[in-house]
Structure 1
Amino acid sequence: MPTTPVRALAAGLLAWCVALAGAPAGAVSPAGGAAAPPPPVALAPGVTYRSFDVIASHGPARVHLVSVDLREPGVSVDLLTPGSVAARAPLSSLADARAAVAGVNGDFFDITETQHPGVEATGASVGPAVGGGRRLKAAVPDGQRFGPALPAGTDTRAVLGVGTDGRARLDRLVLDGGVTTPDGSFPLGGLNQYALPVDSVGVFTSHWGSVSRLRATCGTDEDRAAPCGTETYEVTVRAGRVVAGSPVPGRGAIAEDTEVLVGREAGARLLRALAVGDRVGVRHRLVAEGSRIPYRFAVGGYPVLRAGAALPGLDPLTSAVRSAAGRADGGRTLLLMALDGGLGFRTGLTIAEVAEVMRDAGAEDAFSLDGGGSSTLVTRDLAASAVTVRNHPAEGVERPVPNGIGVFSRG
């Protein structure tokens, strides 16, 4: 497409039309701005796509942008997953499996476990995840996350998603759960997480998958590279009763009528007190801390723009290929963005520049997703049976990811 900003960026063009040499760090300017902006490509009623180039602090960047009108009848957004929390697949495969008309990669994830010999990387995402209205997982402790440093005042519980009211919003999803045993009750510290808080008990459900649960007992709340815990215990609960116990967290698929409780340190001692046949109750939910409106879909990451203003302290120096999502029109419009990783564009944008690009695209709030080799944006043409990867992945091929944001249309 011609190298010109999208029409939605018009409000921000005045700020952009500053010579690069005199622009402050984080400022971006349009490339090829003399050409009239082309109309967006319609993917479905209420869903459009376009790309445009900008000149940023480290050079040219190509932006791929999908706009979703959530008010359009038949349009919906949901979490794309491989079917399990602890699994990965290319975004194009996830989108094709659900017949999505567009999609972008999602949250940061547990990509490597070089610090823990013999422990496999789970591929599970960092933050909370909700898909189809189902709570799939909660957030790992801040010190256990993968990805760049979080902006001040944010944490791993941050999500972007669409609520049951049909509006996109940013919020924090907090785990509210507990375990009731014959000897009393105690709080639940995790839900399908690759890392549990020290001294806690977490629950793993059929949504987790078949990957080993051992990683959940490694690292600490401040350091993901810390050694694995030496005091662990696992209890299998089926139909509300303990059916098995083990000193080492296991692996394998979990049946829908079964829950596996994993404890570390003090949590392990609580579980070790249980015997086969004991009645155990497990409850858990994810609560939207700010709005209290349940999410139909939610994905983790971290905010970079709130109420049209960039979060303070965003890095203006480190440039990379990145993905982001944003909300506009009071949450009635969702924006999905991925940068191109092709030759000539892979210097990308700083996170401060991402906030500016999303703001000038019309976003009131914006949210950083995983970047680098994970950044992928796909669309499906009206008559096509499969999606097309619109950006060039930074590693030359699509990186398998644990989740993404999918756009659907019944039109």
Structure 2
Amino acid sequence: MTRRNGRFRAVLTVVAACGALAGTVLVGAAPASGATNGVRIAAGVRYTEMDIPAASGVAHAHVLTVDLRDPKVRVDLLYPGAVASRAPVSQLAAARGAVAGVNGDFFNITEEQHPGVVATGASVGPAIASGRTLKAAVPNGQRFGPALPPGTSTQDVLGVGVDRRARLDGLALDGYVRSYEGKWPLGGLNQYALPVGSIGAFTSDWGSVSRVRATCGTDTDRAAPCSTDTYEVTVRDGRVVSRSDAPGSGPIAAGTTVLVGREAGAQQLRKLSERLPVRVGHRLVAETSGIPYRFAVGGYPVLNAGLPLPGLDNRTAAVRTAVGVADGGRRLLLLALDGAPEYRTGLTIAEVASTMRQLGSDDAFSLDGGGSTTMVAEQPGTSAVSVVNHPSGGAERPVPNGIGVFSAP
């Protein structure tokens, strides 16, 4: 691929030996401290292209460097206005006025194992947008995407705290249902899959899609049958207003929470009678930092303190999206591989970790890849974003969320 529209291009060589990734060597014009010599998109935001000769062939990468030290710059979650909904990254970015962005978390893309059940399109992990908690994580065995590296979970996030520093963390759900009948823990918040025997809360952030999928599969087997023991209770203004033996669908009004139970959770919800006062509370708790987050998106870590996580796959190459954290959380590196036919072999996860390290990242996080991998950015002389890579499916895939980059004039 040649230089397009005057964009900067570098070469990043990934060296493999004995069937495993040995290291990386950066050559060409881009410095080892990061891809910072590219085209200026906006204040604090730069764009670079580079070739990456890897074990399966040459990959082509698009990199956004985001300087969070610049007070004009921020990142936030892009999403279509509902958890159970999807839209192309370019549409999500344009609707919010972002100057650039990439796709985000893995998601519930299909339901071939459950005939008649609608795929929700909801993401796997936790999500926070503009300080607002949207959802929590599904059980590990219910996730879509490649196998998780050892020691990681669906609760892992990349986030930016109220301190404007980016970091990798985990976000766990802390929630409850309280009534005269007792106090029970919440097992989910706006999730497409609930733990076996639990109660999940659905709010107006969920959207209109059926909630039946939340009662299908088990904590270890996504394809297991849907539960036959379910119950749903609608709570409005602190009181039970309706009950049902099966999860429903349709929009949820503001101030209303729909509780869905399966197995033991269903048995508990059956104790809640009409007009009974009920209180529902929920929050996401940071596992390591203790810092409140303004933005968070799910995925899984691949690099920690400059070292690749143990057990990263070094055999399966694919088109990937990843994000790196550098300079103590003050700089983000967003990477999207090109899905054009000549580059479609892509990188292994081990090669992604090494590439992000060579670009200057201390920590790195893998996002959804394959046909989802998309990067958008404003073009020189315009105020509109357009796709800068070639999606491997030939066109943008609608996705549930993404990372938006914003820069004030």
Contact 2:157/2:300 (8 A) holds in 1: yes
Question: In the superposition, relative to structure 1, how do residues 133 and 113 fare at CA in structure 2: closer, same or farther (>3 Å)?
Answer: same
**1:373 alignment partner, SS class:** helix
Question: What is the match of residue 349 of structure 1?
Answer: 347
Cα deviation code 1:255-314 (max 9, x no counterpart): 111000000000001111111100000000001110110110000000000000000110
Please give the per-residue CA displacement for 1:192-227, whole angstroms capped at 9, x wherever unaligned. 000000000000000000000000000000001000
The alpha-carbon deviation at position 45 of structure 1 amounts to 1.1
Please give the residue correspondences for 1:4-403 in structure 2 after superposition, counting only pairs within 5 Å: 16=13, 25-27=20-22, 33=27, 39-381=37-379, 383-403=381-401
1:246 maps to a residue whose letter is: S
Contact 1:29-1:54 at 8 Å conserved across structures: no
Q: CA shift at 1:39, angstroms?
A: 3.5
Aligned CA distance change for structure 1 residues 143 and 68 (closer, same or farther; 3 Å): same
Shift of 1:25: 2.8
Q: TM-score when scaled to structure 1?
A: 0.94
Aligned partners of 2:82 and 2:205 also within 8 Å? yes
> For residues 382 and 238 of structure 1, do their structure 2 counterparts lie closer, same or farther at Cα, with a shift above 3 Å needed?
farther
Deviation at 1:171, TM superposition (A): 0.3
2:165 and 2:172 map into 1 onto residues whose CA distance is: 19
Note closer, same or farther for the CA distance 1:27–1:65 as it changes in structure 2 (3 Å cut). Answer: farther
Separation (CA, whole Å) in 1 of partners of 2:90 and 2:267: 44
CA distance in 2 between counterparts of 1:278 and 1:309 reads 53
Q: TM-score, normalised by structure 2?
A: 0.94
CA change 1:331–1:35 in 2 (3 A) is closer
Separation (CA, whole Å) in 1 of partners of 2:178 and 2:353: 45
Aligned equivalents of 1:325 and 1:182: distance in 2? 47
Q: For 1:23 and 1:45, locate their aligned partners in 2 and report how far apart those are by CA, in whole Å.
A: 43
User: Following the alignment from structure 1 to structure 2, what is the Cα–Cα distance between the partners of residues 360 and 373?
Assistant: 25
Deviations along 1:164-214, one digit per CA (max 9) or x if unpaired, are 110000000000010101111010110000000000000000000000000
Q: What letter matches 2:154 in structure 1?
A: T
What secondary structure, in the 3-state scheme, does the structure 2 residue paired with 1:330 have? helix
Displacement of 1:383 in angstroms is: 3.5
Identity %: 65
Runs of 4 or more, structure 1, over 3 Å off, are 1-7, 27-31, 33-39
Judge conservation of contact 1:326–1:335 (CA < 8 Å) in 2: yes
- Name the CA distance, whole Å, in 2 between partners of 1:87 and 1:299: 16
CA distance in 1, matches of 2:97, 2:375: 15
1:386 Cα deviation from its structure 2 partner: 1.9
Q: What secondary structure is seen at the aligned counterpart in 2 of 1:209?
A: coil
Tell me the CA shift for residue 17 of structure 1: 8.1
The answer on whether the counterparts of 1:142 and 1:155 sit within 8 Å (CA) in structure 2 is: yes
**Root-mean-square deviation (Å):** 2.0
* Structure 1 Cα separation of the partners of residues 163 and 297 of structure 2: 17
How far is the alpha carbon of 1:61 from its aligned partner? 0.2
Output the CA distance in 1 between the equivalents of 2:114 and 2:18.
45
Preserved CA contact (<8 Å) 2:90 2:386: yes
Q: Distance in 1 between matches of 2:40 and 2:288?
A: 34
CA distance change for structure 1 residues 341 and 28 in 2, over 3 Å: closer, same or farther?
A: farther
8 Å contact from structure 1 (residues 180, 281) kept in 2:
yes
Cα contact 1:303–1:366 (8 A) shared by 2: yes
Question: 1:16-67 CA distances to partner (integer Å, 9 max, x unpaired)?
Answer: 586x7x6753357679x56788931001111000110011000000011001
Where 1:178 maps in the other structure, the secondary structure is strand
Could you tell me which amino acid in structure 2 is paired with residue 307 of structure 1?
A
The gaps in structure 2 that reach 5 residues or longer are none
Instruction: Find the aligned partners of 1:124 and 1:400 in 2 and give their Cα distance.
Output: 11
**d(CA) in 2 for partners of 1:368 and 1:58?**
19
